Amino acid sequence: MEKIKNTYDPQIPGALDGVNVLDLTGVIAGSYCTRLMADLGANVLKIEPPDGEIMRDIAPMRGSTSTVFSALNAGKKCISIDLKKSDACSIVYQLIKKYDVIVENFSPGVMARLNIDYETLKRYNRNIVMCSISGYGQSGPGAKRPAYAPIVQAMTGFEMVTLDAQNALERPLNMGLPVGDTTAALQAFGGLTAALYYREKCGKGQYIDIAMSDSILATMHRDFQTAFHDDPIERRYGPTKTKDGFIIIMPLSQRHYTNLMECIGQSALIADPRFADTRSRLDNYNELLRLAEVWAKDLLSAAALVELEKLHVPCAPYRSLADAATDPQLEFRKMITEVIDEAGPLEVVNSPFSFSETQAAVRSRVAILAEDTYNILAQELEFPDEKIRSLEEAKIIYCGSKK
């Protein structure tokens, strides 16, 4: 593989060039949303408390630097303000006049207590587009419930749907991927870009309320219907055992089925009434895969995949994430790239968008805590040095070591 390098090219325009985003987010949902906006060219300014947001301490670490934080926040500037101090509001009010978007994922009610909620901020910028990301929405009987991703995934039925898809398990699985956070981030990103498009057409900003619970529920298309209709679906999309591990086979179409039967030496079953039409085949999908496993269990995974691929039966090996990252297709699409944080070069996943006319790429810079505080206040807001010093002495802002 070629030496990985950052793919961002400042000479190529981005779809969100010229859009200024004020990022009051932490953890994953908000941070990933604004990272995607930065990848598309937006100028993202992240506001953090004086001791930094929690993700700066989330492993894996390289020294004192979180690799997860770096991956989620590359391409953003960073200013440090203690929003709990009453005088901090005036800084946000002045910043918001110059920004198009504000994204936050505090608990519902916090922004109002800080006097930086949408109704307050739009007095300073009536065209602002603001997005709040929370567990269950900003209002309603369940809005104040704890909203960490594992809790929301349990509350929404997501984890029980996952359990139901397993064989002979009686206990829900430990949470793997942060589906709730990432899904909410993507919904927020889509909502923000739609709101910006609306503002471009109609000249009006607006407020967007994204709930992690809503976002998860909206992904469970088949399973939601299954929960309320007496037409059970028993088929399992899962592993087929081989001599040295597992592969996955998915014979969904008639052609896939016919080719699979030929591959495993069961051509006589092509006309079997259990598999003769689409509905019958899907209703007996588990039996179909059982027959495939009888064939595969004495073969090495690589050999089984070769035979299946010859006949164009959809299949794949089960890879580790580290192995998957070396796939030549990912290299071709430049999906693994490099950013630079305090600890040095770091491999991260690039932007997933590929446009014909504009650029989508993570930028290489990962700001250290408060790296841009002084410059933003001095240059964007034109604060004199003595005012900046007094704000720092009052512990309203933190300028770090870079001034």
Q: Region of 21 please: left (phi>0), alpha (psi -120 to 50) or beta.
A: beta
What is the pLDDT, as a whole number, of residue 401?
64
φ, ψ of residue 193 to 5 degrees: the values are: -65, -35
**Residue 150: what residue type?**
P
Give DSSP secondary structure letters for 190-258: HHHHHHHHHHHHH----EEEEEHHHHHHTT-HHHHHHHHSS--------EEE-SSSEEEE---SHHHHH
Please state, as a whole number, how many other Cβ atoms lie within 10 Å of the Cβ of residue 336.
17
What's the whole-model pTM score? 0.95
DSSP assignment letter at 269: G
Domain ranges of the chain: 20-222+324-398, 246-317
Distances (CA, A) of 212 to 35, 58, 92, 194, 303: 18, 21, 26, 19, 43
Q: How far apart are CA 81 and CA 93, in angstroms?
A: 13
Q: How far apart are CA 8 and CA 246, in angstroms?
A: 38
Q: Which H helix or E strand runs over 79?
A: strand 77-81
282, 338 contact by CB (below 8 A): no
SS (H, E, C) 147-179: CCHHHHHHHCCHHHHHHHCCCCCCCCCCCCCCH
What is the pLDDT, as a whole number, of residue 191?
98
Q: Is the peptide bond before 60 cis (omega within 30 degrees of 0)?
A: yes
What is the pLDDT, as a whole number, of residue 403?
43
Class of domain 20-222+324-398: alpha beta
160, 172 contact by CB (below 8 A): yes
Within 11-76, strands assigned E span: 20-24, 43-48, 61-62, 65-66
What is the pLDDT, as a whole number, of residue 341?
97
What are residue 348's DSSP bridge partners?
337
Distance from the first to the final alpha carbon of the chain: 40
> Is residue 398 classed as helix, strand or coil in its secondary structure?
strand
CA dihedral 145, 147, 153, 154 (to 10 degrees): -40
Class of domain 246-317: alpha beta
Share the mean pLDDT of the chain: 95
Q: What is the CA radius of gyration of the chain?
A: 25
Calculate the CA 217 to chain-centre distance. Answer: 16
> Is residue 313 classed as helix, strand or coil in its secondary structure?
coil
Reference 385, options 398, 375, 394, 372; nearest CA is 375
What is the pLDDT, as a whole number, of residue 173?
95
SS (H, E, C) 314-350: CEEECCCHHHHCCCHHHHHCCCEEEEEECCEEEEEEC
**Residue 341: what residue type?**
D
Question: Could you read off the pLDDT tens digit of each residue along the chain, which spans 403 residues?
Answer: 566 889 999 999 999 999 999 999 999 999 999 999 999 999 999 999 999 999 999 999 999 999 999 999 999 999 999 999 989 999 999 999 999 999 999 999 999 999 999 999 999 999 999 999 999 999 999 999 989 999 999 999 999 999 999 988 999 999 999 999 999 999 999 999 999 999 999 999 999 999 999 999 999 999 999 999 988 788 899 999 999 999 999 999 999 999 999 999 999 999 999 998 888 999 999 999 999 999 999 999 999 999 999 999 999 999 999 999 999 999 999 999 999 999 999 999 999 999 999 999 999 999 999 999 999 999 999 999 999 999 999 999 999 864 4
Reference 217, options 160, 265, 269; nearest CA is 160
Q: How far apart are CA 299 and CA 315, in angstroms?
A: 15
